Structure 1
Amino acid sequence: MAEIILHDTDLPADVTFTGSVAVDTETMGLKLHRDRLCLVQLSGGDGVCHLVRIHPGAAAPNLCALMADPAVTKIFHFARFDVAMLLTRFGVRTAPIYCTKIASKLGRTNTEAHGLRVLCKDLLGIDISKQMQSSDWGADTLSREQMEYAASDVLYLHRLKAHMEGLLAREGRTELAQACFDFLPDRAALDVAGWAEEDIFAH
């Protein structure tokens, strides 16, 4: 059973991560400039999940310092949205990044299924529930079910990253994946600036 620790407003200064940290967010919706960021989940891959509740207008300097720390790789599943939401809410550029969804799309071309639940089931033999995905993350109190759901989104990302690294190496796409990861902060910035749908590389 995972250990889940809930923090209010910011990550405590004495909570640190070395090398890498798995990250996810929960929001009131999927519109960057309409819907607010409610929760940020963090795990060092050790079975412990830190949940940081984000309050409207409140700063989170420790969390932002972690997102910008060049010595800590932030592991996401579908980093584009989370990174854009963090940029919208705090103005922080999150880097460096590893995205397991991009890695799956480049390494697992035998399938069109790249969701987190599918990857956990296929690669790790773990069945995670997505039942609480659209619950009210802005509620005054989070239920135990919500907290367990939120934790499940980060607890397995280190193990998935290890699988993906092997697949990408096997298919000769490690460098291509890294180039995509390096571009993600700018892709998120384009989304925030209004170029979410337009392909600026198109003719």
Structure 2
Amino acid sequence: MKTIATTEELAQFCEMARKAPYVTIDTEFLRERTYYSKLCLVQLAVPSDMPGDEEDKAVLVDPLVDGISLEPLYELFRDTSVVKVFHAARQDLEIFFVEAGVFPNPLFDTQVAAMVCGFGEQVGYETLVRKIAKQGLDKSSRFTDWSRRPLTEAQKTYALADVTHLRKIYEFLAAKLKETGRAHWVEEEIQMLTRPETYIIDPENAWKRVKTRTTSPKFLAIVRELAKFREAYAQERNVPRNRVFKDDALVELASTKPGNMQDLGRSRLLLREARKGDIADGILAAVKAGVSCPSDEMPRLPKRDDKQQVNPALADLLRVLLKAKTESSGVAPKLIATSADLDTLASGGRDVAALHGWRHEVFGADALRLCTGEVALAAKGSAIKIVKL
């Protein structure tokens, strides 16, 4: 197994990879103790039928070696003649975007492709290796500390398998997409993965990720300020946001509105480290800012339209239609439309993902016709058919 430890070696591999139709990529990282992921290893492989020794076609890159630059890899990412293949790419893409502001282009995600090829929702890599590559995986090194050096042979073998089997999986899925005409489905899903806003959390908007049952603007103003402080503090010091204080403590603080250190000490859910120092000062300042927020600047959740009542019969018909469509397309129901989406459609709402892109093609168009009375459903044996009215 070859481990690349210099910029020159990486440049040589990437130059060779630029002659390939695709390159498979994976990473190993740590995130338990940091806000941003710490990149510990990069795995790369080109097609096995390329000229040269097999050892040179699948390599490990050690980003923790002093003096190494990943710029040759980023140049490969920018080369649009080579498809960059990942499995469940989101966390990998976040690392590269945060590190270098770059997204691999063009990108292929085998998890997304497997989804639209009938392998189910969020199918795991091990499942695809077993079903497509007809191989097993040793997962014993999955939860090891990838920042420790030297890496063991077991770790290297595990890491390299994540890109060598990926070659056969990619080739199989790419052929399947071409055969079924669903390549554009994958492209639509991948567009979300390559949006910078997918990976940038603005402290100003961090409050929207906090779940709370209270919708009072006064309460939400305090939640907003507390979440803003926590996110900025975590980003600046590169620590997990939950190490600052957890969501349940945030909601408690927004309810009790502590005005001084003594009040803060009465919190049941706040970590001991957050009851003093910079975090405590930040909490008190955030609560004060939230309490004194002018009415016209308070956050407000979108109002629900209480006039729209779900038609239960129509909702049931939509569920029958969805089941029929998923059986014929081989795509998991939740990937096309959620129960909430169906209820929204049955209440007259139209702002749902199921009415856009490939989902509209598979389900949305007929769902709209069903809602407007243009079609009906009929049972023929075990099959459900759409009947035009």
Are the aligned partners of 1:97 and 1:184 in contact in 2 as well (CA < 8 Å)?
no
TM-score by length of 2: 0.46
Partners of 1:57 and 1:86 lie apart in 2 by 18
**Residue number among 43, 47, 53 corresponding to 2:45 in the alignment:** 43
Matches within 5 A, 1:23-42: 23-29=25-31, 33-42=35-44
1:108-147 equivalence runs, <5 A:
108-109=118-119, 111-112=120-121, 114-147=123-156
1:41-76 residue CA offsets vs partner (Å, 9 max, x unmatched): 000022532111112896321111112211111000
Q: Separation in 2 of the partners of 1:147 and 1:113?
A: 26
- Partner of residue 70, structure 1: 80
Partner of 1:85: 95
What is the CA–CA distance in structure 1 between the aligned matches of 2:121 and 2:67, rounded to whole Å? 39
Once residues 106 and 79 of structure 1 are traced to their aligned partners in structure 2, the CA distance between those partners, rounded to angstroms, is 16
- 1:105 paired to 2:105: no
2:177 equivalent among 168, 182, 191: 168
Measure, in 1, the Cα distance between the counterparts of 2:135 and 2:155. 18
**Percent of residue pairs bearing the same amino acid type:** 25
Q: Deviations over 1:65-111 (max 9, x none)?
A: 112211111000011211111111222222110110000111115x4
The Cα shift of 1:192 comes to: 2.1
- Greater helix proportion: 2
Distance 1:63 1:166, change over 3 A: closer
Q: How far 1:31 moved relative to its partner? A: 8.5
**Partners of 1:63 and 1:174 in 2: how far apart?**
26
CA contact (8 A) 1:20 1:75 kept: yes
Structure 1 CA distance for aligned equivalents of residues 153 and 73 of structure 2: 23
Amino acid of the residue matched to residue 20 of structure 1? Y
Q: Distance in 1 between matches of 2:62 and 2:136?
A: 26
Contact 1:95 1:185 survives alignment (8 Å) = no
Structure 1 residues 176 and 133, CA gap change in structure 2 (3 angstroms)? same
Give the conservation status (yes or no) of the 8 Å contact 2:24–2:45.
yes
2:4 corresponds to which letter in structure 1? H
| Structure 1 length-normalised TM | 0.83
Alignment partner of 1:64: what SS?
Answer: helix
Between the aligned partners of 2:68 and 2:12, the Cα distance in structure 1 is 19
Q: Which range is displaced more, 20-29 or 7-16?
A: 7-16
> How far off is 1:147 after superposition?
0.5
Aligned pair in 2 of structure 1 residues 74, 156: CA closer, same or farther (>3 Å)? same
- Residues 10 and 61, structure 2, Cα contact 8 Å, conserved in 1: no
Q: Is structure 2 residue 5 aligned with structure 1 residue 8?
A: yes
Distance 1:57 1:36, change over 3 A: farther
Q: Is the 8 A contact 2:40 2:147 kept in 1?
A: yes
Matched, 1:54 2:63: yes
Amino acid at match of 1:52: V
Does structure 2 conserve the Cα–Cα contact (< 8 Å) formed by 1:49 and 1:154? yes
* One-letter amino acid of the counterpart of residue 162, structure 1: E
Match of 1:153 among 159, 162, 168: 162
CA distance in 1, matches of 2:101, 2:33: 16
Residue 7 (structure 1) shift:
1.0
Name the one with the larger strand percent: 1
Q: CA deviation at 1:5?
A: 1.0
Name the aligned partner's letter for residue 68 of structure 1. R
Distance in 1, Cα, partners of 2:33 & 2:105: 22
- Greater Cα radius of gyration, structure 1 or 2: 2
Does the 8 Å CA contact 1:22/1:157 hold for their aligned counterparts? Answer: yes
CA contact (8 A) 2:132 2:172 kept: yes
Query: Which amino acid letter does the alignment assign opposite residue 6 of structure 1?
Result: T
Do the aligned partners of residues 50 and 80 (structure 1) sit closer, same or farther apart at CA in structure 2, a change above 3 Å counting?
A: same
User: Could you tell me whether the CA contact under 8 Å between 2:30 and 2:147 is conserved in 1?
Assistant: yes
1:181 counterpart letter in structure 2: I
Distance apart, 1:12 and its partner CA: 2.5
Instruction: Tell me if the contact between 2:80 and 2:105 (Cα under 8 Å) persists in the aligned partners.
Output: yes
